[in-house]
Amino acid sequence: MERTFAIVKPDAVEKNVIGRVLNRIEEEGFKVVAMRMVNLSRTDAEGFYAVHEERPFFNDLTQFMSSGPAVVMCLERDGAIAKWREVMGATNPEEAAEGTLRKQLGTNIERNATHGSDAPETAATEIAYFFGGIDLR
Ligand code: CMP
């Protein structure tokens, strides 16, 4: 079993589709290990996306991620990291395959509905950014 970290981003919460994302998560065989709605401060978002600090989109991204509530989750499944990335689709919704969450629910590369960890190390760091030991048993 593997764990990954997922976010229903502020654009998807605004569109009232938390339930659709959760439905898909359950249909794809993930177990929701931990889940919480959060209102990130700008500093929280900057800390979470610190690896992108030098990228030109960092300011817009952290502004957007702190613009409204989001839902953060720890998901578990065989091959959870790769599977969640497959279910989300490409980062840019315009390039995402039919049937993927970002194709169905995303607006553009910034407002792309969901986030998922890209590797085991980032999954561990991202899960620990939001959840403590008591949440993850
Ligand atoms: P996410 O998977 O949350 O990881 C970083 C985010 O930066 C990404 O999804 C996009 O929403 C956002 N982003 C904005 N512009 C770009 C870009 N040009 N390339 C990659 N990611 C971008």
Residue 52 to residue 57: CA distance in whole angstroms: 8
Q: Which residues contact 78 (CB under 8 A, 6 or more apart)?
A: 1, 2
CB 69 within 8 A of CB 13: yes
Phi, psi values for residue 6, rounded to 5°: -135, 150
Tens place of pLDDT for every residue, the chain, 137 residues?
Answer: 999 999 999 999 999 999 999 999 999 999 999 999 999 999 999 999 999 999 999 999 999 999 999 999 999 999 999 999 999 999 999 999 999 999 999 999 999 999 999 999 999 999 999 999 999 98
* Domain parsing of the chain, residue ranges: 2-135
The residue contributing the CA closest to ligand 1 atom 3 is 115
Could you tell me the two tokens for 117? Answer: 């960890």
* 107 CA distance to ligand 1 middle (Å): 12
Q: Say what the pTM is.
A: 0.97
* 134 CA distance to ligand 1 middle (Å): 30
Q: What single DSSP character describes residue 78?
A: T
Q: How many CB atoms lie within 10 A of CB 90?
A: 16
Is it true that domain 2-135 has CATH number 3.30.70.141? yes
Phi, psi values for residue 33, rounded to 5°: -80, -40
